[in-house]
Structure 1
Amino acid sequence: MVCIQARGDTRTPLRIGLVAELANVLVSAVLLFGLGPFPSMGIRGAAIGTATSFTLMAILTTRALGRGPYGVRWSDVSEGLGRARRVLLPIVRVSLPTFGEKVIFHTGFLVFAALVGRLGETAMTANQSLIAIESVGFMTATGFGIASGALVAQALGAGNAVRAKAVGWTAAALGAVCLGLVSVVFIAIPEVIIRGFTDDPTVVTLGARCLRIAAVAQPIMAVCDALAGGLRGAGDTRSPMVVALVGPVVVRIAACWILTVELSWGLVGIWVGTTLDWTVRMIWLSVVWARGRWVLRAKQRVGTLD
């Protein structure tokens, strides 16, 4: 998917994702409830639906990679394997920090979830609702990160470092504006949004308070994803990994522990700590992007950059 997006084609991954999700819904519904001639398989049916979705996505993505002027053929793959030192090692060097970033982030999230679990059933219910609601912001921010990475890579490939820098800032600004609008909705009608998930008045009250705090983090999150995506597109995958280590693991866990356990702020402390994490990440990534050392590294790889 990322290879297709990096060559500027973001529509094909969208279509593939839509087809795969539709297949997931249809297969899961049929096997989960036993529609038509198919037996009811319960949770196993949902698992088969998910597996079918990923399999279909892999097949469609493989086909899409072979199309167009920049398509990858099987001969290219076999030839690349034969030149492992020159072709594969640079890929490994770039991808390993990204892998490390994901491992660090999800490890931190496990500790974060454990802290929420200490707060009781009401807090857990409210938190799950908040995560589902905030997924709107996650998906939007991720989209700007993908676009930023693809356009920065194209600009650097064309030898235009000035355009690459501008793309990162522009993506960050547009993302902040879009998620700023989401923030307005979160602040204006938090109770209405939470009631879409539960009718429990205690959960609604707690969730509404936390959703207003989450609203502050939305534009900040967009800036983080846009700049981190731009750095990855420039080949600098180490900086986002370091930020992921300091932000979610150090800042978020420390802040959430102090606010939740030591100061007894409850779930509100969790979401204040999360917002502090995003703020630290935004400042750090902005400084890294502004300094432009990633341009120098890209220049060493590409050779000529304006």
Structure 2
Amino acid sequence: MSSESSARTNELTEGDLVGPMIALAWPMVVIQLLQVTYNVADTAFLGAVSEDAVGALSLSFPLIFFLISVGGGFTAAGAILVAQYTGAQSGNSADKIAGQTLSFVTILAIGIGIVGYFTTNWMLGLLPADPETEARIIPLAADYMRIYFLGMPFLFGFFVFVSIMRGYGDTRTPMRIMVISVVLNVILDAILIFGLGPFPRLEIEGAAIATITARAVATGFGLYILFWTDAGPNIELEYLIPDLTQIKEIVSLGVPSAIEQSTSSLAFIILTAMVVTFSPAIVAAYGLGNRLISLVFLPAMGLSQAVDTVVGQNLGANRPDRAKKASWLAMGLAAIVMSVITIIMFTFPEPIVRVFLSADTEGAPQTIAYAVEYMQIAAFMFVFMGALQIMLGTFRGAGNTKTAMVFSMITLWVARVPLTYYFVFVLGWAETGIWYAVLLGDVIGFVAALVWYLRGTWATKIIEEEPTPDRSVDTVGSD
């Protein structure tokens, strides 16, 4: 292990916790912000085209994410293992597991892209769409999805890079690359959606091409850093050759995360199937609201991803006390930030919504009105949502991916999906029932996770490899 890596590990496993954790978290918040910016840029530009194009995005993403989630669990597993091996300072184990994660997930991404491309029409055909929605929105969603699936290896390539670097303790390098990628995406969005200069006006297909091209550039930078610089793990080409023992480690941790993410995306598909029985204005409002919630989600998600690294490295270094302390500190920070966002969103929903729907069309005012109602109700879940994500990140960092999976499923499958059906189709609350089910789902998930979290049984490491005696730095000491 390099001296730079050891120094970074010591920052997370010794001394003050707040400073190093915030230093690790804020680039992750920025990365998440930039990640959402891809979607927000598409939404904002397409919002100047029509509300139907925005509605097509809201239908596309649950279906796309369902297939992405299959491989996403294994990128999370790689981050957990890299973090714990890095904390334990166990020779080149972190480097090897990083290489295995990269090659394994790349193979998965190619397969997922092929399956997604050829099943797009079939997936969209499963949605019980309102006739008007089926005629106006479904074809646009199909155009977007097919192009997106063709770029799946580039999408996963950058996901793996970010996960490996996060487990290693470096979040700033991926952030810098993400800035370049997002700027490129925004430029290409404007050119390809509206047909600037010599380029044809491609509208929603242009948004997909812009995103995939920007992802390809980011992946290229990431691979260069992993193989030809000292900024991350020292991955050798031989580490890419499949090793069944290490792949078993990745699969063992990754399958619960993949199930968690895929069942979550399946829940959103079912929710979308219920939403598309409504008019295009409500479908578009649902899409707009979810885009805004994804923005609100960023501080909590960044802290959650920082926490799983801090927890993982400290458990790897046999410091469960610091792992618990870091988790509680992150939960407090998340609660403060999300409280401020709640006040802002509840007080000023309309001007915020209007930023993302500027088209002067007949249906725009009604769509904005529905989205404002959605945001004012959903605002009350933000604190619960933030704390829940910190607890899930804590469980994952400890290697308890099955536990994180269970509480994620409770949030969606035990709470939000049944409540949506009950409020909408039994009580007849129409679109208001959708909004209240979103609120109550996260509250119920938070309460359930908190009961388990307080038991403290999660604070044990999962790796068995002992630190090598010939490492070039001192062993981690105590505070």
Scaled by the length of structure 1, the TM-score of the pair is 0.88
Q: Give the equivalent residue in structure 1 for 2:274.
A: 115
Structure 2 residue matching 1:264: 3-state secondary structure: coil
Q: CA deviation at 1:138?
A: 2.0
8 Å contact 1:252–1:274 — kept in the other structure? yes
- Partner Cα separation in structure 2 for residue 265 and residue 302 of structure 1: 56
- Partner Cα separation in structure 1 for residue 454 and residue 466 of structure 2: 21
- Partner Cα separation in structure 2 for residue 40 and residue 243 of structure 1: 47
Where in structure 2 are the equivalents of 1:223-302 lying within 5 Å?
223-296=387-460, 298=461, 301=464
1:26-62 residue CA offsets vs partner (Å, 9 max, x unmatched): 23433444444x4326144433322211211212222
- Partner Cα separation in structure 2 for residue 19 and residue 9 of structure 1: 18
Deviates more, 1:57-66 or 1:183-192: 57-66
* 1:59 and 2:220 correspond: yes
Instruction: Specify the code of the residue in structure 2 equivalent to 1:140.
Output: P
Q: Give the equivalent residue in structure 1 for 2:330.
A: 171
Kindly report structure 1 stretches of 4+ aligned residues shifted beyond 6 Å: none
Deviates more, 1:98-107 or 1:166-175: 166-175
8 Å contact 1:16–1:60 — kept in the other structure? yes
- Partner Cα separation in structure 2 for residue 33 and residue 201 of structure 1: 23
Distance 1:229 1:65, change over 3 A: farther
Structure 2 residue matching 1:295: 3-state secondary structure: coil
- Partner Cα separation in structure 1 for residue 214 and residue 442 of structure 2: 32
Structure 1 residue matching 2:418: 3-state secondary structure: helix
* 1:100 and 2:242 correspond: no
Structure 1 residue runs of 5 or longer lacking an equivalent are none
Deviates more, 1:274-283 or 1:106-115: 274-283
2:230 to 63, 68, 72: 68
1:182-211 residue CA offsets vs partner (Å, 9 max, x unmatched): 100112122333344368554444333322
Q: CA deviation at 1:302?
A: 6.7
Q: Give the equivalent residue in structure 2 for 1:191.
A: 350
Q: CA deviation at 1:245?
A: 2.2
Distance 1:208 1:49, change over 3 A: closer
8 Å contact 1:156–1:302 — kept in the other structure? no
Deviates more, 1:59-68 or 1:14-23: 59-68
Identical counterparts, % of pairs = 26
8 Å contact 2:165–2:233 — kept in the other structure? no
Structure 2 residue matching 1:294: 3-state secondary structure: coil
- Partner Cα separation in structure 2 for residue 54 and residue 69 of structure 1: 20
- Partner Cα separation in structure 2 for residue 45 and residue 271 of structure 1: 31
* 1:29 and 2:29 correspond: no
Q: Give the equivalent residue in structure 1 for 2:138.
A: none
- Partner Cα separation in structure 2 for residue 116 and residue 56 of structure 1: 35
Greater RCO, CA 8 A, separation 6+: 2
8 Å contact 2:192–2:206 — kept in the other structure? yes
Structure 2 residue runs of 5 or longer lacking an equivalent are 1-161, 468-477
Q: Give the equivalent residue in structure 2 for 1:210.
A: 374
Q: Give the equivalent residue in structure 1 for 2:28.
A: none
Structure 1 residue matching 2:454: 3-state secondary structure: helix
Number of residue-to-residue matches in the alignment: 301
1:152 to 289, 308, 311: 311
8 Å contact 1:148–1:227 — kept in the other structure? no
- Partner Cα separation in structure 1 for residue 190 and residue 366 of structure 2: 33
Distance 1:76 1:281, change over 3 A: farther
